[in-house]
Amino acid sequence: MAANTILQLTFKRSDLKTTTMSIPTPKTGLTVEAVNTAMAGIIAKNIFAPDGMDLISKAKAELVVTDTTTFSMS
């Protein structure tokens, strides 16, 4: 079995829709404070504007872990 971890950061945009950024293989031991600080920095620096819309607030953050089991084919 192989585990895959992705950090998903969801932001509210200026058009009130949401957009999600997926970060593959995030650091282990992430804290709520570190994620909040990173998301606030992304918003403050205004470096991403999906579909031309500014990110205006944090909506949610999730650490998603999936397990994959590969079966041998005969």
Q: Quick one: tokens of 37?
A: 């600080």
Beta bridge partners of 68: 2
CA atoms of 25 and 27, how far apart (whole Å):
7
Average pLDDT over residues 41-65: 95
The predicted model gives 32-61 an average pLDDT of 96
The CA–CA distances, whole Å, from 50 to 24, 36, 56 equal 19, 20, 12
What's at 50, amino acid-wise? P
Amino acid identity at 10: T
pLDDT band, very low/low/confident/very high, at 32 (cuts 50, 70, 90): very high
Full-model pTM: 0.85
Mean pLDDT of the chain: 94
pLDDT tens string 3-30? 899 999 999 999 999 999 999 999 999 9
Q: What is the pLDDT of residue 1?
A: 61
